[in-house]
Amino acid sequence: MIKAQASIQIERPPDTVYAFVADDFERNYPRWSPEVKELRMVSRGPMRVGTIARQVRVDQGRRTESTFRITHMEPVQRLTFQGTSFPFLVDYRFDGAAENTLQHTRLTFTFELRRIDLMMRPFEKLIRSAVQDGAERTVRNLKRLIETECTPPAPHSA
């Protein structure tokens, strides 16, 4: 198994960050993960546990298609996907805090590749490095998009 994790502080409250990721997933996911060339929600209706989506990605020149299902959805706290056509897990955690009336969110992104094909094992170190780089790029892209596009809350006066 290959696991990568990256975390970043976003200067927006958890409900804003969660909404950008989960509520607007279909629109925003290809924006923070430009490797996603096509995304189609297979399930109808709002996102919920059990929702299925299909994606086409091009990672380092390699095109892959995969289907995934939402396995955990805890509003403003956590969103988890699990591959149904390929063994992977993606997890977003949203931890809020307030400092001097400015609310921010610690976003932690985890990606697990749960199995590596036998013919890819000689490249495991390279794969591990690419997956970690991808995790770090994901949180940086999310921070940039959210802080640019989502209006900060007005400061509370004490």
Contact at 8 Å (CB) between 103 and 13? yes
From 44-48, 91-95, 98-102, 128-132, the region with the lowest mean pLDDT: 98-102
Q: What domains sit in the chain, N to C, each tagged with a CATH number?
A: 2-149 (3.30.530.20)
User: If you write DSSP's letter for every residue of 108-139 in order, what string do you get?
Assistant: EEEEEE----GGGGGGHHHHHHHHHHHHHHHH
Summarised one tens digit per residue, pLDDT across range 48-86 is 999 999 999 998 788 999 999 999 999 999 999 999 988
* pLDDT at residue 128 in the model: 77
State phi, psi for 25 to the nearest 5 degrees: -55, -50
The pLDDT value given to residue 119: 63
Top pLDDT among 155 and 86 is at 86
Where is pLDDT greater, at 157 or 96?
A: 96
